[in-house]
Structure 1
Amino acid sequence: MASRANQEVRIIGRVMKVSGDILLLEASDRGTVEVKLQMQDQTPVSQYVEVIGRVSRTGDSVTQHALLSLGDNLDLSLVEHLVVLTPQYPTLFSE
């Protein structure tokens, strides 16, 4: 995540643990991401979520702006394939 320091990102992953205002997420590349929850009333209600937030200046965590529930049945390997394909087709995946 260091390459995305101080940038807005979207991360899809599996909720590993919630402790206070910290969410540990297993990302689609199987890495672990620390998410700082800004809205504790938005604690994950499903096993898989999408986090929209800003990567810290040091690149070691993400501060959450939004949290979307994606249910309890998601194939993270398919999500990772999409992550890999996205830069190859910018006209499909850019604003």
Structure 2
Amino acid sequence: MGHSNPFVTGERVWKLGHQNSREGLMDAYRAQSVPMNFNVRFVRGNKNSKVYHLPEGCPSYNQISEKNIALFSSEQKAIEAGYRRAGNCRN
């Protein structure tokens, strides 16, 4: 999703007894000032089948189990990630 994780990138190392901090968290005021666009419709991929569904024209868009959903900002991003278009999409 484009967020950096310093433990994954190797910038930080987890140690036994690690205590979480608020580092990287947005405060409540800043979180409210960030514009939210609820009209954005993501391409949904199924992690198990590697098939993606478009928000319009794909009847199975809302039938993917929540734990198996991979979100993509575009159809091209899904293709680049190795997913193929669902056969029942009408677009």
- State the TM-score bracket (shorter-chain normalisation): under 0.3
Larger Rg: 2
**TM-score, scaled relative to structure 2:** 0.22
